Chains A and B, each alone.
Chain A
């Protein structure tokens, strides 16, 4: 069975500073990997995904993530955070055979002025 760990429950960052959210996964084969964002009171929106190919993936809203197979990681980054990036972020890993998604517990990002 696959699993996802997001080690940071809560991160506070200043507006304009860089942001990195960590995600580690456990899965026996090459996984599908996703990052979703959930703004307060909203549903989930896909930021980016990795299926294969280039390990550096660009997403919406200026986010990118890098797949590192040797470290079983898929960390999310943004060079300069905006106040509107305050939200909860979820990493997810998908299974190749039946596409079942497993989510991490989420990281809440607070942006201070």
Chain B
């Protein structure tokens, strides 16, 4: 089954404690991206990757890092989380301009 998986699905952490949210897709897609969803703001792109070792900033990259060492994986790293990063995060992948597939989401609370 074609899918995008994210882990963990729910996470509560404290300010400053580094965390990683994993994302994996099994469709051999070149393009992957991370979004955050906040009420009234829709989805905003954090980072995206057009292929292995090729990443670029989206609209709201501050406080986040990513890496793309393998085609299937695109982890999101928060080196020093802050409360304003409390949000719902989605990973997504697609092949060029085709349909974008979303993961189930990771709900993060930073205390």
Contact = CB atoms under 8 A, between A and B. Distances in A.
Interface of A: 4, 6, 9, 32, 34, 36, 42-44, 46, 49, 51, 90, 92, 94, 96, 98-106
A105 B105 contact: no
A105 B50 contact: no
B42 A103 contact: yes
A101 B103 contact: no
A104 to B, nearest CB: 5
The number of chain B residues touching the other chain, given as a range, is 20 to 34
Interface of B: 31, 33, 35, 40-45, 48, 50, 58-59, 90, 94, 96-97, 99-100, 102-105
Given A43-B104, A43-B105, A100-B48, A94 B97 contact: yes
Nearest to B104: A43
Contacts of B97: 32, 51, 94, 96, 99
Given A43-B90, A44-B90, A101 B42 contact: no
A74 to B, nearest CB: 15
Contacts of B102: 36, 43-44
Contacts of A51: 97
B90 A105 contact: no
A50 to B, nearest CB: 11
A106 B100 contact: no
A49 B40 contact: no
